[in-house]
């Protein structure tokens, strides 16, 4: 259990979320009305998961982006994707879908967000994490509460991104990893109108290159282990901004079939830069012989 400024917990088993209306634990046998309620709940979860998958994974960038961060969460764990026993926090995690994917891999996962409607929806997911309403600039958790902290393209929306990094560092245990992504848009000056429209539509306060994040993280005692960019070529960055500015609410989802082409373009692109930057960094603390941080990390592997 994690106890902090507000009472929060990490789920241990699938039964942590099985509560009756009003917060009372369900009681009784498996027959009769209990069976009917379970069937209805199962049917709802199936619909909720299908909708969440379509929104989060049928997406021209989010699938590769978030799946890379999930893989990085377990980079030092034995087994393929095993996160067993790790305490994982997803900052600005929305409905908790991606934290739920970490929980599905064995993590004791928490998603934090300010949007009550998203948190409410997330409770219907089959692998729902603990869902906490809270502010990324004032995380309601004790120091060193988590082994991994994840944040998917969130920091660029915060009023004070550096304060959010302070908080993510504070709740991360020494030797733990922070995996995050952010808008970089390193060629945005070529399309100022599209960039302005992107920032206005998605409330983007600033962008971050890997150099900027490396410096900000180093000042907080985190060493970058690796980074990579997505939408790396000039054409891909233009596509990203165009989808954002003119694609409508579901533009990135509708463009999902182009994801393999963007991935191929990224592999062929030269140099550093792109629309999105992904970073994996480790808080200094206990020795970890399996990965040593090198200056500037390893790029676009």
Secondary structure E strands in the chain: 87-91, 108-113, 130-133, 146-151, 172-183, 222-230, 276-283, 298-299
- Sheet of 298-299: strand order equals 130-133, 108-113, 87-91, 146-151, 172-183, 276-283, 222-230, 298-299
> The pTM is what?
0.79
pLDDT score, position 80:
62
Q: 3-class DSSP state for residue 275?
A: coil
Q: Mean pLDDT for each consecutive 10-residue tract of the chain (301 residues)? A: 47 38 37 42 60 79 92 76 93 96 96 96 94 97 98 97 98 98 97 96 95 98 98 96 87 91 94 96 69 44 43
pLDDT at residue 188, as a whole number: 97
Per-residue pLDDT reduced to its tens digit, 195-213: 999 999 999 999 999 999 9
Can you give the pLDDT at residue 296?
43
Q: What is the pLDDT of residue 31?
A: 34
pLDDT at position 219, please? 98
- Please report the sign of the dihedral spanned by the C-alpha atoms of residue 74, residue 214, residue 141, residue 139: negative
Q: What is the pLDDT of residue 234?
A: 96
């Amino acid at each position: 259990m994690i106890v902090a400024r507000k009472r929060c917990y990490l789920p241990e088993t699938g039964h942590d979320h099985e509560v009756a209306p009003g917060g009372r634990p369900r009681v009784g046998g498996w027959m009769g009305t209990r069976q009917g309620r379970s069937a209805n709940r199962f049917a709802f979860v199936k619909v909720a998961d299908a909708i969440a998958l379509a929104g989060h994974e049928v997406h021209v960038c989010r699938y590769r982006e978030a799946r890379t961060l999930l893989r990085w969460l377990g980079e030092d764990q034995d087994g393929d994707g095993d996160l067993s026993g790790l305490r994982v926090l997803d900052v600005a995690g929305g409905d908790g879908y991606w934290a739920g994917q970490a929980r599905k891999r064995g993590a004791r996962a928490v998603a934090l967000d300010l949007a009550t409607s998203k948190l409410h929806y997330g409770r219907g997911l089959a692998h729902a994490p603990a869902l906490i309403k809270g502010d990324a600039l004032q995380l309601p958790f004790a120091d060193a509460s988590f082994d991994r902290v994840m944040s998917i393209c969130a920091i660029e929306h915060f009023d004070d991104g550096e304060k959010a990094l302070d908080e993510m560092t504070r709740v991360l245990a020494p030797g733990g990893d922070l995996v995050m992504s952010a808008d970089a848009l390193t060629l945005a000056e070529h399309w100022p109108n599209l960039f302005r429209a992107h920032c206005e539509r998605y409330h983007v306060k600033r962008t971050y290159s890997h150099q900027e994040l490396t410096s900000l993280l180093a000042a907080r005692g985190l060493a970058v282990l690796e980074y990579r960019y997505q939408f790396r070529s000039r054409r891909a960055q233009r596509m990203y901004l165009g989808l954002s500015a003119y694609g409508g609410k579901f533009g990135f989802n509708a463009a999902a079939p182009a994801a393999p082409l963007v991935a191929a373009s990224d592999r062929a692109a030269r140099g550093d830069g792109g629309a999105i930057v992904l970073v994996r960094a480790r808080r200094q603390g206990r020795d970890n012989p399996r990965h040593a941080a090198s200056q500037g990390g390893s790029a676009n592997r």
